[in-house]
Amino acid sequence: MNVLIVGAGVVGVTTAWALVRRGHQVTVVDRLEGAALETSRGNAGQRSYGYVYPWAAPDMVGKALRGLFSRYGPFKITNPWSPRTLQFLAMSARCSLSHGLYNASHAALLELAEFSRHCFVALEEPPDASFDGQHEGLMEVADNQAACTALHQKARRLESLGIEHEWLNPDAVRQQEPGMQGPGAVAGGLLMPADGTGDCHRFTRMLAQACEARGVHFQYRTSITDWYLDDGHIRGAWLQRHPPDPGGGQSAPDVKDGDSPHYLETDQVVLCAGCMSRELARPLGLSLPIYPVKGYSLTSTIDDAAKAPRSTVVDHAYKAAITRLGERVRVTGFVELAGFQRHIPQRRLQVLREAFASRFPGAADLGHAEPWTGFRPMTPDGPPILGWGQQKNLLLNTGHGTFGWTLSAGCGEIIGQLLDGETPAIDLGAFSPGRFT
């Protein structure tokens, strides 16, 4: 079957890999200069199979309000009055208050993540080293008793779902991460020993090359601008080429400056366009209330390996993730509702530097680190959108929010199963594309 995949982020490329291995003819179209240049570029690098959770937690409204008034609180709103922000906030609040939804979504996410863990094993050839990947575990560190209580609660939930985890006292936390000698308090930690890390950008580019070698056709600097619909099917799409981007490939291309649009016929479409899926789905009669939830990262080479993290730490005091990526370290944080505003304020980066210094002082000089900002394609409840769309030949694999890198391998495989008429490996109820209408 001829399949058109929209989007060459980690989700689109893992989907392309799953489909080409099943014998389909795959074309991937992306508006940017290459693979993984949007959200998949600078994320926290955690393949956090035991640490996936829905966005709309029952206590999210209170937490968000408290965070708004603190410099360190992760939750920020910088354009509260835009209709899109207000709609997203209202839908998220409704989901967070919907009885039983959080627990059901959490269980579904953990099941999907577990499936993804297995699918990743097959994907990690060529070896881990080419994308600075490893499986040394993910540790959440609590800095006070309240955070410990919350982690104990989480541990009980993991226990009931049979997910491998370990409770660590403060000494064991420091044994797990011997470089963690900073002044930040340590009250305890929860370790997911089988979780992994890796540079999502490098991985995606490596897999895109492997896809090309198997015959997948990539069209970069090309946007989908419109669809041709007939008799409940998508028959094809209008594509617009863009001129090369002098800004290095991440800025939004100017559609008007490209060649005239051309038409591409297709048997099947898979929408993997991350934060832009909402606009692309609207002419198809689908309402996808995906919001671009902004985050920031700083990446630096390591100066002193003995003082650096071995794997990845989620720090409860700053709500920051600190991840080892080979010879580099990355600090990531913030969930900010700012629309598609790409500005990187120094005050956000300063908080990330403080978070790092409180745990791993002397490991790297974050004064010269590479700053990045990206947008999590977030759904109001949190689980991604995975399954059949309105048209008979439309599949959706989008809205991956906080965990697209972790879930990508499993979701690509599930798209393959659906396309080939197989029963999907897991129940897809929590991920249904129609759940917001």
Ligand X SMILES: Cc1cc2nc3c(=O)[nH]c(=O)nc-3n(C[C@H](O)[C@H](O)[C@H](O)COP(=O)(O)OP(=O)(O)OC[C@H]3O[C@@H](n4cnc5c(N)ncnc54)[C@H](O)[C@@H]3O)c2cc1C
Binding site for ligand X (CB under 6 A): 6-12, 29-32, 37-40, 43-46, 48, 223-224, 272-274, 276, 280, 295, 297, 332, 374-377, 398, 400-406
Task: Please give the distance of CA 304 from its chain centroid, rounded to a whole number.
Answer: 29
Give the three-state DSSP class for 286: coil
- Residue 187 vs 295, nearer CB to ligand X: 295
Element containing residue 103 per DSSP (H, E)? helix 101-123
Q: How far is the CB of 430 from ligand X (least distance, A)?
A: 17
Check the CA dihedral 358-359-361-366 and report its sign.
negative
* Cα-based distances in Å from 193 to 100, 139, 170: 28, 8, 17
Element (H, E) at 224: strand 222-230
Q: What distance separates the 2 farthest-apart alpha carbons in the chain?
A: 65
Q: Which is nearer to ligand X, 152 or 262 (CB)?
A: 262
How far is residue 382's CA from residue 191's CA, in Å, rounded to a whole number?
Answer: 23
Minimum distance between the CB of residue 38 and ligand X, rounded to whole angstroms?
3
In angstroms, give the least distance from the CB of 249 to ligand X: 10
Instruction: Kindly tell me which of 15 and 96 has the beta carbon lying closer to ligand X.
Output: 15
Q: Provide the minimum distance between the beta carbon of 134 and ligand X in the complex, in angstroms, as a whole number.
A: 14
Instruction: Show Cβ contacts of residue 435 under 8 Å, excluding neighbours closer than 6 positions.
Output: 381
In DSSP notation, 234-272 reads: EEEEEEEE----TT-S-SPP-GGGS---EEEE-SEEEE-
Alpha carbons 344 and 336: distance in angstroms, whole number: 12
CB of 223 to ligand X, least distance (A): 4
* Residue among 194, 156, 201, 173 nearest 315 (CA): 173
Q: How far is the CB of 28 from ligand X (least distance, A)?
A: 9
Q: Minimal distance in Å, beta carbon 227 to ligand X?
A: 11
Instruction: For ligand X, give the closer residue by CB, 160 or 346.
Output: 346
Is 158 or 172 the residue whose CB approaches ligand X more closely? 158
Phi, psi of 57 (to 5 degrees): -80, 150
The nearer residue to ligand X, 8 or 369, going by C-beta atoms, is 8
Give the nearer residue to ligand X in terms of CB position, either 219 or 390.
219
Q: Which amino acid is at 34?
A: G
